Amino acid sequence: MESRHSIFKSFKFAFEGVSVAFAKGRNFKIQLGIGIFAIIFGLILNLSVVELLDITLTIAIVLILELLNTAIESIVDMVSPEIQPKAKIAKDVSAAAVLIASFAAVAVGAFIFLPKVLALLF
């Protein structure tokens, strides 16, 4: 299937999506803020390139899932404005995906940061 839009317009639409998620999504802002903090903290602790890459990819996974969660919730709200059990399942399951990724991100952060921080303290 061929797109009706130029590549530049496609990028513009994608950046508009990120902008909307940032402007209207409290969780996206929180996750992005924590992600930026983690990268800055990693640079301060002089993490290896592989460790920084692991942190960056983990942050990206959480943010991607948050964007997908927002998209799913918007579609569900549009097609089912009234509360329905199946609509609730869709929204809850997409939120659960973000939750699981967030728990995994905390675990990755703990494995990478804790030894470095403990080494500085002791």
pTM for the predicted model, two decimal places = 0.91
* pLDDT of 83: 87
Q: What was the pLDDT predicted at 4?
A: 82
* Residue 51 within a domain: yes
Question: Which member of 51, 66, 73, 82 is catalytic?
Answer: 66
Domain housing 19: 7-121
Side chain identity at residue 28, one-letter code: F
Q: Does residue 66 carry a catalytic annotation? A: yes
Amino acid at 73: E
Kindly state the average pLDDT of the residues 41-63: 98
Residue 2 domain flag: no
Count of structural domains, the chain: 1
* Residue 25 within a domain: yes
The CATH number of the domain holding residue 104 is 1.10.287.3610
72 lies in a domain? yes
Average pLDDT for the chain: 95
Q: Does any domain span residue 103? A: yes
Which H or E run includes 98? helix 85-121
